[in-house]
Each structure stands twice: as C-alpha cells, then as structure tokens.
Structure 1
Amino acid sequence: MEKTTTLFLLFSTLLLTTSLAKDLCHKDDKNTLLKIKKSLNNPYHLASWDPETDCCSWYSIECGDASVNHRVTSLYIEYGKFSGQIPPEVGDLPFLKYLAFHKLPNLTGHIQPTIAKLKNLTYLRLSWTSLTGPIPEFLSQLENLEIINLSFNNLTGSIPSSLSSLQKLEYIDLSRNKLTGPIPESFGSFSGRIPNLLLSHNQLSGSIPKSLGKLDFDQIDFSRNKLQGDASILFGTSKRAWSNIDISRNKFQFDLSKVMLTKTVGRLDLNHNGITGNIPVQWTKSDIYSLNVSYNRLCGRIPQGGDLQKFDSYSYFHNKCLFGAPLPTSK
C-alpha cells in the first residue's frame, strides 16, 4: 500500500511539473510570437512555434526566470530563407533584452520603428540582411543598449551623432554598408564607456574628428572608406595596451616619423594610404602582434630590433624609398 501511495505521489508530481512547464510562457508573449511567425509567412524555419506548446521551449526563443514571470527575453532568428520585413510585432515583447535577425538575405525594408519600444534591450543585431534606409535616430532612446551590430546590410545615409549618448554602449559595428558623410564629432565624447568602433567598408569621408584623439579605444576599424587628413591623433604612448587599429585603404596623409606607440600593440594596419616619413626607432620597443604599412610613401631604413623583423616583406613593400630587412636587398 505504501509503495502504491509513493508511486501515485511521484506520478502526480510529474504531471504537475509538466503542466506548470507547459504554462511557463506568458500568453501575451506567445500571441505576439505567433503574430511574428504569421508576418513572416509561417516559415518552416519556425516550425517549432506550435501554439499547443510552451513558447519558452521554441527554437530561437529564451525566457527569463520567475522574477520576470518567464517573459520572453531573447529572440534570435538566423539562417532562414523566408522573405519580408522585420515584423512590427517585435516591439510588443516588452521584456526583450536580446534581439537578432542574422544571415537572412531576403529580409528587406527599413529597420523596424517599433524596436524603439524595447526599453530593456541590451543587444541588437541586424546583420547580413538586405535592410535599407538610414540608421534610425531612435536607437539613442534605448538607454540599456550595450551592443549594436548593423553590419553587412545596405544601410545608407549618415551615422547618427546621438549614438554617443548611450552610456552603456560597449560595441558599435556599422561595417559593410553604404554609409556616407563624416564620422560624428560627438563620437569623441561618449558619455559612458568607450566602445569598440567598427565602421569599415562604407563610403565615409572627411577627417577623423580631433575629439577622438582624446579617447582610449580598444578597437578601431575605419578601413576601406574615403577618409582623409591626419590620423596620427589615434596613437600615442599613453594609449591602451593591445589596441587594434585598422585605418587601411583610405586617403590619410601624415608623417609617420612622429607616431609613437604604446608598449603593447595588437593589430596595426595602415596600408594603402599616403603616409610619409620613416618608421620610428621607438617602435622597436613595442610588442607588436600584427603590422602592415605597405602601399604608402615611407622612406628610410626599417629599424632593426624588437618585432619589426618578424613580419615578412608584405608588411612593408610598395613604399617610396623604404629599405632594410625584411625587404629584399635591391640589386
């Protein structure tokens, strides 16, 4: 009798647990997600989004714990073949912290304005899509944003200066778009921490704002744009160790002889510009992980010592009158 009672209690507990698990998903969030699925024409990619099951168990969905009543906190849709625009219903998931539409080449239209309603959002990734239009100003209203990744799209227009008001921002990737205009002057006055700044493969023009020279960036990638002028303000012995700076394939012109490096340097890529002068002897005192100064107008002997000879000739060739190892000896 006792054994039967014990089995009955275990079975009842299992049923209760299963029932509770099935009801974890908040009904408002489930209804919103089903609308998103319908807006995307019910793709097979979202076949697990079955109204008879718990939405917290669906593919591409994560829910928070009991402290937020198991509300949907993450929506990550990637590698699907469906077409259309970002569903406006994404703005009706008030507890969403993480939103990503990634590797969706048939996703079109502008960045959805209802995203402005997601005040808890910390991570926004809309990448490798066919999104068009400008980077919206409303992003600066999302005060909890830590990461913005809008890379590999067809976005146009200028970069909103208001992004610098986001105090929690750690990372901005706007690379591989069709953005024009200058780098905003306001980017030299981020009100919070200083984010990694990736703006490569666009059509940005003008000079680097002098205000950026006061900041200590960990990673900058301004490569493959139409930027010009003096980029030496980005360097200095007081800058952060292990910084990664790529300003290659622009129109920068400055004297490299005056550029001093910090003790430890990550990746330094200056190729395909109009940089003059010689490589400073001070660079032999820095630990340099990766270097490329090719296709410039440098002259003089490559200083001997340090890390400068560990790179192959590719790092130095096609300069005006640069010579010395590892460049081959001219005959």
Structure 2
Amino acid sequence: MATTMLRLSLLLILLSSVVSDKCNPQDKKALLQIKKDLNNPYLLASWDQNTDCCDWYTVKCDHETHRIISLAIIDSGPSNFSAQIPPSVGELPYLETLEFHKLPKLTGPLQPAIAKLTNLKYLRISNTNLSGSVPSFLAQLTNLTNLDLSFNNLTGSIPDSLSQLSNLGSLRLDHNNLTGSIPSSFGSFKSNLDIILSHNNLTGTIPPSIGNLNFTHIDLSRNKLEGDASSIFGPNKMVQIVDLSRNNLTFNLSNVEFPTSLTSLVINHNKVYGNLPQGLTKLKFQFLNVSYNRLCGQIPVGGTLQSFDIYEYFHNKCLCGSPLPKCTSN
C-alpha cells in the first residue's frame, strides 16, 4: 500500500512538473515582474511562481506555443490598485491583447515599452487615471485593429501618425482632455474605421478628408468643432450612428443626402440651418435629435419622424409641424 501511494505521489509530482513546463520561462518572469511592479495586488493573487502561468487569472496562452497572447487586467469591484503601467509589459513579445480597464488608481503615461509589442491587435487602456499625451509611438503597432484609450486624463493633441495604422477598425479617444484639431491625415486611413472622439476639447473644423472613410459609427460630440460636417454623410455611405451634438457646427442640412443605413442622427446644440430633407422619411431612426439649432420649415411627414417627441425638435429658428405645433402661413 505504501509503495502504491509513493508511486502515485511521484506521478503527481511528475505531472505537475510537465504542466508547469508549458509556461514559457521568459513570459513567466515578465508576468511576475509585472505583478511586483503593480505592488502585488490581490487581483493577481493566482500568479504563483510555482504554478503554470497559462492557468493564471487575466492571462491567456496560445494553445500550441503556450506563449502569452492576452493580458487583461480588469477590476470590476472597489480597488486599492495603485501603480503605473509597468515597463515589463514590453517583455511579452507574443501579446495580441493588452487591457488595463476600470483601474482608477492606475496613473502615469503610456509606457514606451508598449511599442515593443508588435503583434498587438487589441489595446485597451480605459477608465484609469492615465495622463500625458497620446504617444506617436503607437503608430509602430501596425497590427492594431482596436485602439481604446477612453475615459482617462490624456491631454495634448491627437498625433497625425495614427493614420499609419492600416488595420485599425476602431479608434476610441473619448472622455479625455484632448485639444487641437482632428488630423486631416485621418482621411487616409486604409480601413474604414469607427471613430469616437467625444467629450474632449477639440477645436477647428472636421477635415473634409473624413468623407473618404466609410465608417458605421462616428461620435464627435461635446467638443468645440466648427464648420461643415456634411462630408460625413452621402447616399453611398454605410454609416449607421452619427453623433455631432454640442459643438459649434454650421452647415445647411437641406442639401445633405443621407445613407439608407442611418439609424441614429444626433446633431442637437449646434448652428445647423436649412430644412429637414424629405429623404429622412425613408429612414428607420432609432434615435433622432435636431433640437437647439437654426432649422426652419415643416417637419416631413412619414417614416419614424413623428415617433419622436417635441424635445427632439424644439428650440429651432422656425421648425414646425408634428410633433411641434402646426405650421402657419406666417
């Protein structure tokens, strides 16, 4: 009996050793350094040097190579997590996904070491206290398909070089303190990406080159943008959601041709003038708000336009008709 138990114990030790060997030693070393640099948070309690790092919480390994391909540190509860992004994240060369999310005490700038992660496809650092600028070195991550730096304290201007990310499909820089203008180079993105730049302090005009893109979602709301935004629209576009609200945009809505794909149009609190085009009756809006502008004329009858209440139309120069009061001869 004792011999049998001894053999079982040796077998378990052997199996444990085999399992632990799956984790690449260099990746494991980098992860343990990350944990140390983050002041050993409880969130990473499973990161034990005596276990296989492929089994650690927030970590994902490739099934064949066993290299670390995903690191997603997300805290869904109250946290005392206080640190900066460790430079050691740059020592995980096979990373395809990197996330730091809902970590309000994560501070400091974006680490230049992130530029070493050339296999990165998804970068999300959001809902943190990250500060500093949006670094131009992000343009070196040419495999990126998603870049999300929303809900931080980033300042400065948006670098032109981001347009070099030819595979980018989604760009989120919203809810920061960014200033300056939208780079005209954004019109040269190779892919048709969604752009969300809302809740910043961006100024200037929307570059006409943006009209070259065929995104499905664009949100430039709550900035200080001026001028014409009509290049965003067009009969051959595939855009579904447009939010340009709370800017200083000035353009004639009468001549705008809207794509049939449009389901959400929010342009309230601007200086948009002209009439509501009859073509809007052909669209199936889920959200619509044109209030607080300089629009005139009768609201076209048909489609979903009368399904919205007065608050989506009021405070215009002389807009009338259901759901607003009837138009008069005057």
TM-score tier after normalising by the smaller chain length: over 0.9
| Residue in structure 2 matching 1:274, options 271, 275, 281 | 271
Q: Secondary structure at the match of 1:265?
A: coil
- Within 2, Cα distance between the matches of 1:276 and 1:61? 52
Q: Secondary structure at the match of 2:286?
A: strand
The answer for the alignment partner of 2:148 in structure 1 is: 149
Point out where structure 1 has 5 or more consecutive residues left out of the alignment: none
Q: Secondary structure at the match of 2:179?
A: strand
| RMSD, aligned CA | 2.1
CA contact (8 A) 2:193 2:213 kept: no
| Residue in structure 2 matching 1:327, options 320, 324, 329 | 324
- Using the size of structure 2 for normalisation, the TM-score is 0.92
Between stretches 131-140 and 280-289, larger displacement belongs to 280-289
* 1:45 has 2:43 as partner: yes
Q: CA deviation at 1:158?
A: 0.6
- Using the size of structure 1 for normalisation, the TM-score is 0.92
The answer for the alignment partner of 2:100 in structure 1 is: 101
Q: Secondary structure at the match of 2:322?
A: coil
CA contact (8 A) 1:299 1:320 kept: yes
CA contact (8 A) 2:178 2:201 kept: yes
Between stretches 312-321 and 139-148, larger displacement belongs to 312-321
CA contact (8 A) 1:151 1:177 kept: yes
CA contact (8 A) 2:298 2:327 kept: no
| Residue in structure 1 matching 2:62, options 57, 61, 64 | 64
Matches within 5 A, 1:102-121: 102-121=101-120
- Within 2, Cα distance between the matches of 1:326 and 1:32? 62
Q: Secondary structure at the match of 1:249?
A: coil
Q: Secondary structure at the match of 1:145?
A: coil
Between stretches 27-36 and 169-178, larger displacement belongs to 27-36
- Within 1, Cα distance between the matches of 2:234 and 2:51? 58
The share of aligned pairs that are identical, in percent, is: 56
The answer for the alignment partner of 1:253 in structure 2 is: 250
* 1:305 has 2:296 as partner: no
The answer for the alignment partner of 1:73 in structure 2 is: 69
Q: CA deviation at 1:259?
A: 1.2
Matches within 5 A, 1:19-30: 19-30=17-28
TM-aligned CA distance change 1:330 to 1:302, over 3 Å: closer
The answer for the alignment partner of 2:212 in structure 1 is: 214
Point out where structure 2 has 5 or more consecutive residues left out of the alignment: none
The answer for the alignment partner of 1:233 in structure 2 is: 231
- Within 2, Cα distance between the matches of 1:10 and 1:306? 74
Q: CA deviation at 1:14?
A: 7.1
How many pairs does the alignment contain? 322
Q: Secondary structure at the match of 2:273?
A: coil
After superposing on structure 2, the runs of 4+ consecutive aligned residues of structure 1 that deviate more than 3 Å are 8-19, 328-331
Q: CA deviation at 1:288?
A: 2.3
Q: Secondary structure at the match of 1:77?
A: strand
AA in 2 matched with 1:99: L
